[in-house]
Chains A and B, each alone.
Chain A
Amino acid sequence: AQTVTQSQPEMSVQEAETVTLSCTYDTSESDYYLFWYKQPPSRQMILVIRQEAYKQQNATENRFSVNFQKAAKSFSLKISDSQLGDAAMYFCAYRSYYTGTASKLTFGTGTRLQVTL
């Protein structure tokens, strides 16, 4: 079974600065997908970014980018030019490539990000 580990329960960043959230995972599979979800106080789960394991290029979405190190099984999220609206819980999630008929996700325990003025 796959496991996802987020070793930073809480992080803090000043507005306009850059912060990196860590995620490591354990799997014996060679093909899979990785996701970062954001959960603000409203409780919504919002997809931030997605990475396909077979792609060497790191995914980027505006101010959000990942550092995907497949050999190290590491998938960190970098938030540039942090904004107050980035304050939320961030979850890393893993999905097998070959899941038959379902796309089950395995989540990490989350990192709470605070953004200060």
Chain B
Amino acid sequence: NAGVTQTPKFQVLKTGQSMTLQCAQDMNHNSMYWYRQDPGMGLRLIYYSASEGTTDKGEVPNGYNVSRLNKREFSLRLESAAPSQTSVYFCASSFVNRAGQPQHFGDGTRLSIL
């Protein structure tokens, strides 16, 4: 009964380092999403994957890459971390084309880049 699981929960990086945030869901959802949350700005969509094998840019994709490894897993990679990427990152998942079905969120990853 895990829902959406994100790892790690906390991470500190130095500028220029790379990092992959992992996300897995066990609800058989088709679609998965990555958001970042910054103070005073709500959640903003970075990338999403409508279904296995597809990925698309969201509102703030610069500096990130994603991989939809299989139906369960969707990872977010920072190739060369920058202080502006300090944020809390949320992964979410939902069914596709199911009217009104809400997204289910993981517990977030707090990422600090020095």
Contact = CB atoms under 8 A, between A and B. Distances in A.
Interface of A: 4, 9, 33, 35, 37, 42-45, 47, 50, 52, 91, 95, 97, 100-105, 107-110
Interface residues of B, number: 30
A101 B31 contact: yes
A101 B101 CA distance: 13
Given A44-B107, A103-B101, A103-B103, A109 B48 contact: no
Contact of B94 (A43, A103, A107, A109): A103
Interface string B73-114: 000000000000000101010111101111101011000000
16 contacts: A42-B107, A43-B107, A43-B108, A45-B90, A47-B102, A100-B50, A101-B50, A102-B56, A103-B101, A104-B33, A104-B45, A107-B42, A107-B43, A107-B44, A109-B41, A109-B42
B61 interface: no
Nearest to A100: B50
Contacts of B44: 107
Contacts of A102: 31, 33, 48, 50, 56, 96
A111 B73 CA distance: 31
Given A43-B108, A44-B107, A102-B48, A91 B43 contact: yes
